[in-house]
Structure 1
């Protein structure tokens, strides 16, 4: 490739803030897309899809490589998000299934569950680098390359109104988006720096502690495994909580000792067999009639140990979470407090707030 900006480039990042930043005359507001961050590099027929950790996505999304050639300028570098649609919503769980080592499965999934790309920044066009150009001008230049709407490469909507952003924050969640990104219009593109802002949803839920994984540094608590009871009466794995100082992780080992259980007697005693049998398949859960259990293999690191220490499901805690991904928490939940007043069986999916549905096409048409 002979571009003014070459891979790898670590994407510019955003730091979390509690409330929507008020318009100060420089800010732009965009929906926060729920997918894989990706920077596209195109030089003629050469296309490279760079990921946030600078490992290429190119081999996993052949349909996007072809879309880039058909829908983007001959020579450009575009920052955005790889997303996967399921009807009028985003499906991050299906997107995760696209990361697979087998070339035959990659080709099959590219046909069965094709991905799209939502563009939100322009780093280079032709022989010109735009890295030092203020974002307001980069956005104008980005809009200029979207003269004809593509089918797979789309442009994110944007606003300079904080009131509009507040409305988007509430409305767009129903289509699978998870917040708002706020960008100062006078800033250059700064790789790997948190110079933007993100506003995300936060909710709470009471969950059952059903086990823990040890920390990579030793026999202390790395993360608590969390469960909720479904309508089928079974305990389903919904995620983990891991926001503990190191000293507290060691204390938790002692506090949890009285609740240690034998794996054969645990609700997730069959976790390894079930998880291994469904690698590469959509995850089972209450919505599909299966039981959601902890994963046995990491999609991102096959050598990562995902075994856990089982606990009798008798302890309840309150956690904060931002959104759901199907039947589980989208991101790591944050411990808020112990709930000795709650019984484990009262911790069900019914307590979870579900956002009102919103049409994804209506968002992209803005």
Structure 2
């Protein structure tokens, strides 16, 4: 492979803001909920790289021919790998695609094929376009990508913040994370937070059932959260993390008394790595990093945490949550799924149709 922009490429990143930014030089896109992917094509050679420099090519073999059919012979594009269903984006099915067995990968590629959403052009032929303004990169991208093919999409784009707000409000039910805002005159800056992202945020009260030590061993790295269903079963729904170093140390003392005899009658005491379905229980091996330590310490289920979250998918928080406060006025058994807001489904094809109409 010999391209003007060679792998690995660290994708351009975004800063989180609480509302849609409004400025005349901004361009807005939906924030897709998938795997970020920089796709490299040099003739018959195709490589799909993740934002963490881990190759995605082996997990999505069906995208190789798709890239060859939809993109120019020599190019580099920034994109998102997604799985589109009648209900919208399906991140759970996307995670299933990260399987170590080649036979399983091939089977899943046929049963739940992935789609590619392209949104930036980093190189074309012998030209490095990363120094060009985003508006110019997008103009050229619109000319060279073939979106008539099934499972290839050019992300919608607008310069109108009211349209972006409408996307933010209307298409959450289709699985979108939110909205991205990009300066029209900005070059492509690898691994720098020069864009903005607006994501849906809500709060929920969760039972605290355990914790994981921070990777440096000097404090609490994350709290394990649970919600009760109608039958009274406590389900692991995610973690609260991103504590400062001082707060990690404070939490060790705050939770110390809850560690005593924590396994006696603990609702998760029988969970083991071997028995746990992927992604549903603490201690499950990470799909991205088999060496990552996901062992956990049980706590007596007596503490309630109010956490800020973005959205729920398949009964779990899609991303890690942030601790707002401990609710000493709440009992853990009151932390049920019924408190969560249900987002009505939206028709994903409507948004993609809007982009085709604009062009």
Q: Same fold (TM over 0.5)?
A: yes
Q: Please list every run of 5 or more consecutive structure 1 residues that lacks an aligned counterpart in the other structure.
A: 284-291
CA contact (8 A) 2:204 2:340 kept: yes
Q: In the alignment, what sits opposite 1:229? A: 228
Q: In the alignment, what sits opposite 2:68? A: 69
Partners of 1:147 and 1:242 in 2: CA distance:
41
Tell whether 2:195 aligns with 1:208: no
Shift of 1:85: 1.9
Partners of 1:354 and 1:158 in 2: CA distance:
27
Structure 1, residues 210-248: CA drift from partner, whole Å, max 9, x if none? 011111112521111000001221000011111322222
CA contact (8 A) 2:27 2:158 kept: yes
CA contact (8 A) 1:88 1:361 kept: no
TM-score calculated relative to the size of structure 2: 0.95
Q: In the alignment, what sits opposite 2:349? A: 361
Q: In the alignment, what sits opposite 2:317? A: 329
Tell whether 2:48 aligns with 1:49: yes
Structure 1, residues 66-113: CA drift from partner, whole Å, max 9, x if none? 111122221111111001123231111211111111111111111111
SS of equivalent residue, structure 2 residue 171 = helix
CA contact (8 A) 1:275 1:294 kept: no
Structure 1, residues 271-291: CA drift from partner, whole Å, max 9, x if none? 215654x34xxx5xxxxxxxx
CA contact (8 A) 2:70 2:146 kept: no
Count of matched residue pairs:
353
CA contact (8 A) 1:214 1:221 kept: yes
CA contact (8 A) 2:306 2:325 kept: yes
Shift of 1:354: 1.8
Partners of 2:180 and 2:275 in 1: CA distance:
35
Q: In the alignment, what sits opposite 1:286? A: none
Partners of 1:354 and 1:250 in 2: CA distance:
36
Structure 1 residues 179 and 294, CA, compared in 2 at 3 Å: closer, same or farther?
same
Partners of 2:318 and 2:159 in 1: CA distance:
28
Q: In the alignment, what sits opposite 1:272? A: 272
Alignment of 1:1-366 (within 5 A): 1-23=1-23, 25-218=24-217, 220-260=219-259, 261-263=261-263, 265-273=265-273, 275-276=275-276, 278-279=277-278, 292-366=280-354
CA contact (8 A) 2:41 2:76 kept: yes
Structure 1 residues 341 and 262, CA, compared in 2 at 3 Å: closer, same or farther?
closer
Shift of 1:264: 5.8
Shift of 1:147: 4.9
TM-score calculated relative to the size of structure 1: 0.93
Shift of 1:249: 1.6
Structure 1, residues 157-197: CA drift from partner, whole Å, max 9, x if none? 01100011111111111100011000000011111111111
Q: Please list every run of 5 or more consecutive structure 2 residues that lacks an aligned counterpart in the other structure.
A: 355-359
Shift of 1:262: 4.0
Q: State the 4+ residue runs in structure 1 displaced beyond 4 angstroms.
A: 273-276
Partners of 1:31 and 1:187 in 2: CA distance:
18
Deviates more, 1:261-270 or 1:196-205: 261-270
Structure 1 residues 112 and 264, CA, compared in 2 at 3 Å: closer, same or farther?
farther
Q: In the alignment, what sits opposite 1:288? A: none
Partners of 2:92 and 2:146 in 1: CA distance:
32
CA contact (8 A) 2:263 2:300 kept: no
Structure 1, residues 251-296: CA drift from partner, whole Å, max 9, x if none? 22222122223436310112215654x34xxx5xxxxxxxx42242
Structure 1 residues 86 and 225, CA, compared in 2 at 3 Å: closer, same or farther?
same
